[in-house]
Structure 1
Amino acid sequence: MAMVWGQGELFAIASKEEIQQTEFYLGKYKSMTLFMTDFENYEREMKQVAIDGEVARRIDQEDLHADKTANAVILIEKQKWVYNQYRKYKLMIDRAHSQILDDDAKEAIDIRFIKGYSRKETIMFMRRGVAHSTVDRRIDDGIVSIANTLKLSGFFEEISEKF
């Protein structure tokens, strides 16, 4: 795995684009975990729905004739692939979250992204008397910390290889 930061640098510093990507994936974290839980608990039922349901009838709307069974297999394989990608991303994000040194930033990230609350709810859940700008700063600091750890772990190279 090729690391992209400068030669001789001991600590990776994420670029603005990588920080934006980190915020994007953190924003998707809750939906990823919900999909993973659903897939783990109801994989058999999801397969049956793919076979029986109309989703598999036509994967491509341009198809005049569709092989429902073949399309169901494609749909099931896509769901497995998405599950495995989400599992990998979740593991890397969880590890990066655990390495945030500032407890206040870690708490803000936990409430906002890991638990999936809105910005307003995050501000309300933080300790009493903390200004919204302070909460925003803690969230930003947490995102940067996670982005730096993800860069060090090769997360951005991983996601750029897939797409």
Structure 2
Amino acid sequence: MAMVWEQGELFAKASKEEIKQTEFYLGKYKMMTLFMFDYENYEREMAQVAIDGEAARRIDQTDLHADKTANATILNEKQKWVYNQYCKFTFMIRRAHSQIIDPEAKEAIDIRFLQGYSRKETILFMRRGVAHSTVDRRIDDGIESIANTLKVMGFFEEIRREF
């Protein structure tokens, strides 16, 4: 993996764009884990629904006569590819989360993104007497820390390569 760092830079610092991407993927973390759980536990049922249901027929709306079995296979392969991508992304996010040094920022990120609670619920779960702005600052610090770690791990290069 080719990482672009400046000369003499020991610790990579994520750009504003990479921090925004990190926040986007953190926001999708809970959805990714739910899909992974569903795929792991109900893969056979998902494949059967693709064959029996209308999803396979609707892969390409321009087809007048769709081959449902072939389309179901394509849909199943796409689900498998998405599952593998989600496994990779969630693993890297969990690793980056484990590298957050500040325990309050780590807790805020865990509640807000990994457990999937809203901003308001995150504020309620944090210690009593902590101001809203303090919780927001901890979330921002946690996102930046995760973004910096993901940069070192090559996460953003992986995304650019895949998409």
TM-score scaled to structure 1, two decimals? 0.99
Aligned to 1:80: 80
Aligned to 2:5: 5
Residues 80-137 of structure 1: CA deviation (Å, up to 9, x unaligned) = 0000000000000000000000000000000000000000000000000000000000
Residues 43-90 of structure 1: CA deviation (Å, up to 9, x unaligned) = 010010011111001201111110000000000000000000000000
Q: Secondary structure at the match of 2:106?
A: helix
Is structure 2 residue 18 aligned with structure 1 residue 18?
yes
Aligned to 1:101: 101
CA RMSD of aligned residues (A): 0.5
Percent sequence identity is: 83
Is structure 2 residue 69 aligned with structure 1 residue 69?
yes
Is structure 2 residue 60 aligned with structure 1 residue 60?
yes
Aligned to 2:37: 37
Structure 2 gaps of 5+ residues are none
Question: Aligned residue pairs: how many?
Answer: 163
Aligned to 1:159: 159
CA distance in structure 1 between the partners assigned to 2:7 and 2:38 by the alignment: 43
TM-score scaled to structure 2, two decimals? 0.99
Structure 1 gaps of 5+ residues are none
1:5, CA displacement in angstroms? 1.8
What stretches of structure 1 move > 6 A for 4+ residues in a row?
none
Aligned to 2:121: 121
Aligned to 2:92: 92
CA distance in structure 2 between the partners assigned to 1:44 and 1:55 by the alignment: 15
CA distance in structure 2 between the partners assigned to 1:48 and 1:7 by the alignment: 54
